[in-house]
Structure 1
Amino acid sequence: MDYKALTYFYHVATQQSFTRAAEALEVAQPAVSMAIKRLEQQLQLTLFHRHERQISLTDEGERLYVQAQRIVQVMSDADLEMEELRGLEQGAVQLGTPSMLGSYHFPPIIMAFRHRYPNLTFSVYEGGAWQLQQMLEKGELDLAVIEAEDIPDTIEARTLMREEMRVVVDKDHPFASRTAVTSAEFLQEDLVLFRKGYFHRKVIDRLAEESGIQPRINFETNLLPLIRAIVKQGFGISTLLNMATEDNPELVTLSFDPPIVLDLCLAWRKDGYLSKANQAFVDFVLEHGGNNEAV
């Protein structure tokens, strides 16, 4: 099987578009179309359903895509490892992190890391913990911060921090004079929450299911400044990590009763090649505030 054609197939299946795949591969679209056609002829299988301007994988294409994901990732890892063995001096760190950690926890760590390793480049992707875990498993991210709960066997993780989820209200809210509220009390308030896929939302959805209470979600947004602004104006309450509210005296935080504590981990694929740049960042993070405990 032609590896180049398999790579083209993988990108077309991932992008669900010949045009977008060609752009990602930086080749002409006809070259992609011809490679897929030759691959189908070689295999004597139809890999895509073609419906005017839309495409989708056939059952046979779905089976090949699973294998193509593994092969493309292994080849990419091999290329990277060989480059480093040839003495590559520069490298790149690619990190996925939830928005709160990306805004508050990592900036000073990244700046200190860049000071120690000025020749390395750094890319940060913000997203929900579940989305980041999926991207990590697919090889779309090298490192990601995820929850310690339900980590699959394919992921290696080290505890980064333990953080309490705090109820956040404005200064005039009835909860502001208290030290804690139950999950039932929280769920019956007007809520401002992250969208599904973020670890905060996952916790709240679980609390709602366990208590049998339908939460009153008035606002959904992944924009942290907007959540804080809505709460500050008294249009709802939320839950955030303490680091996201420490610089805002107009907001009041209190604990859940019982407290909700999250274990957050720095994670990477067990079967992937962790480049020297990424390994340096892992070591640096664990040295500056992380925990070496395996999860």
Structure 2
Amino acid sequence: MLSDDLSWYLVLAETEHMGAAAAELRLPQPTLSRRLARLEREVGATLFDRRGRSLALNSRGRALQARIRAAVNQLDLGQAEVSKLLDPETGLVRFDFLHSLGAWMAPQIIRSFVANHPRAEIQLHQGGGPELTQRLLADETDIALSSPRPADPELVWRELYRQPVGLCLPSDHRLAGRKRVSLDEVGEEAFISTPAAYGSRAILNDIAAEAGVEPRITYVSNELSTVAGLVVAGVGIAVLPSDDPHIQLPGTVFVPLKTEIVREIGLIWRSGQGLDSTPGFFLADAADLLGAR
């Protein structure tokens, strides 16, 4: 145990007898005497009053005894906690995911993992893509379900799904009945999108660049469901995932784009991170569930 380097003093303080303490600790008595002498030199004071062959714990020794007992207890608790974390069946996985995946993909992954590992612990956090990346790099989380594929070489990516993307229009829009549409046909209209650092915004920018247009973004929201709601309200149009039922709101129509593009969704973790414990089991379950590429 980590506490062994300190616990000998507790035995000696309890027995107040060098021979009895040495026998209980299974140490040669001279070894125990040297330990006590070294400790007293380090603290700069005697901890026992010597009475012939007997020892009597003095006030300084009792003060140190209380502190060492507390430290030993904390070390034992810490070692037990580490052992628990190393057991894949009872350990902890910290799982982050995008807001837009919190209503469908993330719950599927969590449900599968809990069914297979009911005693494991999961800590959840939702956020935007840039935030999740920073949390991974800062070791504030183990695994993130995110999009797009990260550029940072310190992060590892495992693709889970390629989500189709379409043009989200109000149902009474002039192009609502089209089979396909090009972005240059709506280049002058108001767009609703996510913040500039988000993957959804990058998709819009890529499609717009290919079509030779610069989208006029009038409203920005962190939530794709809010973006879809603003389309329903008639204040703009948006490029959104076309197969997510949680943003296919009444009053909207999704028209496929002539430029076919997908939103890459995958799991991200730190390069070199040990995956032989609970986070590794979590990754394997998610990959099996969704057929990782």
Please, what TM-score do these two structures have when normalized by structure 2?
0.64
User: Residue deviations 1:56-80, cap 9 Å, x none?
Assistant: xxxxxxxxxxxxxxxxxxxxxxx89
Matched, 1:120 2:117: no
The alpha carbon displacement at 1:91 in A equals: 2.3
Structure 1 Cα separation of the partners of residues 244 and 88 of structure 2 = 38
| Structure 1 unmatched ranges of 5 or more | 1-78
Which runs of 5 or more structure 2 residues have no equivalent in the other structure?
1-78
- State the partner residue of 2:268: 267
Determine the C-alpha separation between the residues in 1 that align with 2:180 and 2:80. 50
| Contact 2:89/2:278, CA 8 A, preserved across alignment | no
Report the CA distance between 1:181 and its aligned residue.
1.8
What is the DSSP-based 3-state SS (H/G/I as helix, E as strand, rest coil) of the residue aligned with 2:102?
helix
Q: Aligned residue pairs: how many?
A: 214
1:6 aligned residue: none
Q: Which moved more, 1:124-133 or 1:155-164?
A: 124-133
| Change over 3 Å in CA distance of 1:97–1:87 after alignment to 2 | closer
Secondary structure of 1:172's counterpart equals: coil
Q: Bigger CA drift: 262-271 or 138-147? A: 138-147
Contact 1:81 1:273 in 2 (8 A): no
Distance 2:151 2:81 in 1: 26
Aligned residue type for 2:284: D
User: What is the 5 A alignment of 1:277-288?
Assistant: 277-288=278-289
Cα separation, partners in 2 of 1:108 and 1:223, compared to 1, 3 Å: same
Matches of 1:170 and 1:199 in 2, distance apart?
Answer: 23
Separation in structure 2 between the aligned mates of residue 81 and residue 209 of structure 1, nearest angstrom: 52
Structure 1 contact 245–251 (Cα < 8 Å) conserved: no
In 2, the alpha carbon distance for the partners of 1:85 and 1:100 equals 30
Residues 85 and 91 in structure 2, CA contact (< 8 A), matched pair in contact too = no
Report if the CA contact (8 A) 2:112-2:289 is conserved: no
What is the aligned partner in structure 2 of residue 75 from structure 1?
none
Aligned-residue sequence identity (percent) comes to: 26
Instruction: State the partner residue of 1:23.
Output: none
State how far apart, in whole Å, the 1-side matches of 2:275 and 2:198 are: 25
Q: CA deviation at 1:183?
A: 2.6
1:258 deviates by: 1.2
What secondary structure, in the 3-state scheme, does the structure 1 residue paired with 2:175 have?
Answer: helix
Distance 1:80 1:261 in 2: 46
How far apart are residue 114 of structure 1 and its match? 1.7
Aligned match of 2:152: 152
How far apart, CA to CA, are the structure 2 residues paired with 1:167 and 1:270? 36
Distance 1:102 1:186, change over 3 A: farther
Aligned to 2:105: 105
Do structure 1's residue 254 and structure 2's residue 248 form an aligned pair?
A: no
Larger Rg: 2
4+ runs deviating over 6 angstroms:
none
Question: Is this contact kept in 2: 1:165–1:241, CA < 8 A?
Answer: yes
CA 1:122–1:140 in structure 2 vs 1: closer, same or farther (change >3 Å)?
Answer: same
**1:237 matched to 2:237:** yes
Structure 1 residues 88 and 213 mapped into 2: Cα distance closer, same or farther (>3 Å)? closer
Question: Corresponding residue for 1:40?
Answer: none
SS at 2:184 equivalent: helix
Cα separation, partners in 2 of 1:258 and 1:210, compared to 1, 3 Å: closer
CA distance in 2, matches of 1:268, 1:165: 25
